[in-house]
Amino acid sequence: MAALFKARKALRLCLSGCRSLSQLAELPETHQILRQTCRDFADRELTPIAAKLDKEHAYPAKQVQELGVMGVMAMEVPEELGGAGMDYLAYSLAVEEISRGCASTGVVVSVNNSLYIGPILKFGTDEQKQQWIQPFTTGEKVGCFALSEPGNGSDAGAASTTARQEGDEWVLNGTKAWITNSWDASATVVFATTDKKLKHKGISAFLIPMPHPGLSLGKKEDKLGIRASSTANIILEDCRIPLGNMLGPRGAGFKIAMQTLDSGRIGIAAQALGIAQASLDCAADYAHKRTAFGAPIGKLQAIQFKLADMAVAIESARLLTWKAAMLRDSKKPFSKEAAMAKLAASEAATFCSHQAIQVLGGMGYVTDMPAERHYRDARITEIYEGTSEIQRLVIAGQLLKEYQL
Amino acid sequence: MSGRVLVGVKRVIDYAVKIRVKPDNSGVVTDGVKHSMNPFCEIAVEEAVKLKEKKLIKEVVAVSCGPQQSQETIRTALAMGADRGIHVEVTGKDYENLGPLQVSKILAALAKKEDAQLVILGKQAIDDDCNQTGQMTAALLDWPQGTFASEVALEADKIKVVREIDGGLETIKVNTPAVLTADLRLNTPRYATLPNIMKAKKKKIANVKPADLGVDLTSRLEVLRVEEPPQRQAGVKVETVDDLVGKLKEAGRI
């Protein structure tokens, strides 16, 4: 019996290794169906309303619920907890296709999956998983992730939000900034320092339901892009939560945040890919239809070179994203690849959306065409969940280790 | 009653694709072109799955006739909730010449073989727009048919079907077993949920050849030529109603 199990395990490991290389060339059938399903959903339910959502800064509640029913809001979560039980490669495909339709919806999906559910799934107790994950799989409730503060974004270790123990409660004080989903969330993962002297090793993670006494929201930021997703400060004033609301061990907060962001990067890379792809689609379609100098502009080399450069940028970033996802799925180290993917994809998004406007000319500058919205949506991908500068630091750090410098 | 429903699903060029005619006018370009399940077949699958969820029928079997790629279409039906699939392998010239007559013979044979209580099809396919397969299948089986269904209700031993006809809506009752064809407003097909996409992997798709069913695939039709529709001509503005009537008479329209 034991020998049978060992043989099966060996076979599975071997197959998964073989599969991962060919997966880069052609996705497995389930993933193809998943990708097509998400694409159909995006084409039919998101693309037609994306401009309106952007204009009205309107949270896509109905669409998020429908995505919940499909299982997209909790893709990695096991079925027993109400999730889809799929892998990160599937997740990156889903986020890309959703973002291609509407980048704001894409970030709502990504934050809920990677930044809110992610750390609870990895570091939470069984009880915490039941309480804080299960209700957030259906699309009715979404969560958010509160790490950044007005005083520190990239410098996450300098958290000034405090948590002190008072009897059987934690009392939190401080302000968190730039929190995606804040106005639409029903819970948040918050990072606060329990021991300022220990610097980043004194930070711990906490779970707070929303709304909650002592927790209030700042004004909704009026952003350049991804306007259908809400971004605001979270203000904690003597916010009291039970001791059981600490996530993971005391002092492990920084580690939890960094590991969570590693995975979150794959989600944001996927979102950036969606925006980039939508830009390329828009530009290619226009190049086919717009005539100038007696022929469709797609016949001109200048335009063709732009489209080719866009396609190369997207495909290379996509392969990096898939590789990072597959490494994570095989439980191998993936920080470097995830940072590379996020860096490449976000720069591809800004490049492609910029070039798409150029291809569209004057039409690219007006709201009649989606190119301007892609341009505005793309910009944030180089900033949140780790700026491009931070990504370069992460990559260099790993690289230097490899070269033993 | 077996409680088994056969649903036909056809792999067609995706509705959003710009169709191009082959340079030799023998057909349309299909190589490398995106294909998906015929939208009316999606509605048929959805109806069958809904009947199963209401526990009015026991098993949904998705059938597709075509080359290897038709299996993808069957898998999509499985992901939507069908229980198993049957892939009737038709390739090459046979596939090029496959039409409603051949498909209805196959479906009739399968309906008998699988002891189906109901056959649900899309009212027509968006590539050939024939709107014949459902009707032919019913005739071959000598079963009643409820076509252009916008509402289906299973009663004790009959099925109430509301049909969309030119004059409005017609309600009929048919005995079972029967053939139904789905019209646009019958339902809104669901998006496959991710758990169901995973489960679909494990569901069985049986492989069958038309010869095994005793079906002769010879076509009675020959495609002579396929052309683009004529380019739309510019219109003409007229000054008065008399001018308009004059022009219409000239063109032989009135």
User: Which tens digit of pLDDT belongs to each residue from B85-133?
Assistant: 999 999 999 999 999 999 999 999 999 999 999 999 999 999 999 999 9
Size of interface A-B (CB pairs under 8 A): 48
Per-residue pLDDT of chain A (405 residues; tens, 9 = 90+): 665 555 555 555 444 444 556 666 789 888 999 999 999 999 999 999 999 999 999 999 999 999 999 999 999 999 999 999 999 999 999 999 999 999 999 999 999 999 999 999 999 999 999 999 999 999 999 999 999 999 999 998 889 999 999 999 999 999 999 999 999 999 999 999 999 999 999 999 999 999 999 999 999 999 999 999 999 999 999 999 999 999 999 999 999 999 999 999 999 999 999 999 999 999 999 999 999 999 999 999 999 999 999 999 999 999 999 999 999 999 999 999 999 999 999 999 999 999 999 999 999 999 999 999 999 999 999 999 999 999 999 999 999 999 987
Q: Nearest-CA residue of chain A relative to B80? A: A37
Percent of chain B with pLDDT over 70: 100
Q: Is B15's Cβ below 8 Å from some Cβ in A?
A: no
CATH 3.30.460.10 fits A255-403, yes or no: no
Contacts of A69 in chain B (CB under 8 A): 193
Contact residues, chain A to chain B, C-beta under 8 Å: 29-30, 32-34, 36-37, 40-41, 43, 66, 69-72, 75, 79, 84-86, 90
How distant, in Å, are the alpha carbons of A153, A342, B245, B251 from that of B239? 70, 64, 11, 17
Contacts of B192 in chain A (CB under 8 A): 33, 37, 70
Angle CA B86–B87–B91, to nearest 5: 160
Please report how many Cα atoms fall inside a 13 Å half-sphere around the Cα of residue B219, on the Cβ side.
12
Task: Give me the residue from A30, A41, A43 closest to B197, CB to CB.
Answer: A30
The pLDDT tens digits for A175-209 are 999 999 999 999 999 999 999 999 999 999 999 99
Please report the pLDDT score of residue B233 as a whole number.
87
User: Can you give the residue ranges of every domain in chain A?
Assistant: 28-142, 144-253, 255-403
Q: Is B193's Cβ below 8 Å from some Cβ in A?
A: yes
The pLDDT tens digits for B149-192 are 999 999 888 999 999 999 999 999 999 999 999 999 999 999 99
Domain topology for A28-142? Butyryl-Coa Dehydrogenase, subunit A; domain 1 (1.10.540)
CA distance, residue A34 to nearest chain B CA (Å): 7
Selected catalytic residue, list A56, A385, A389, A402: A385
Rounded to two decimals, the ipTM of the complex is: 0.80
Query: Average pLDDT over chain B, rounded to whole?
Result: 94
| Token pair listed for A359 | 């291809």
Residue with tokens 């996530």: A247
Q: What per-residue string of b and e applies to A155-167 under the rule 16 or more CB within 10 Å gives b?
A: ebbebebbbeeee
Write the single-letter amino acid at A239: C
- Cα Rg of chain A (Å, integer): 22
User: Can you give the residue ranges of every domain in chain B?
Assistant: 4-251
CATH 3.90.1150.10 fits B4-251, yes or no: no
Q: Is B68's Cβ below 8 Å from some Cβ in A?
A: no
- pTM recorded for the entire structure: 0.88
Please report the pLDDT score of residue A12 as a whole number.
53
Angle CA B87–B93–B98, to nearest 5: 55
* CATH classification number, A144-253, choose in 2.40.110.10, 3.10.129.10, 3.40.50.1950, 3.30.390.30: 2.40.110.10
Residue B84, strand partner residues: B61
Contacts of A72 in chain B (CB under 8 A): 194
Determine the average pLDDT of the residues in B6-17.
95
Cis peptide before A28 (omega within 30 of 0): no
Task: Give me the residue from A29, A36, A71 closest to B194, CB to CB.
Answer: A71
Would you call B192 and A37 a contact, using CB atoms and an 8 Å cutoff? Answer: yes
Grade residue B253 by pLDDT with cuts at 50, 70 and 90. confident
Task: Give me the residue from B16, B76, B195 closest to A33, CB to CB.
Answer: B76
Please report the pLDDT score of residue B205 as a whole number.
97
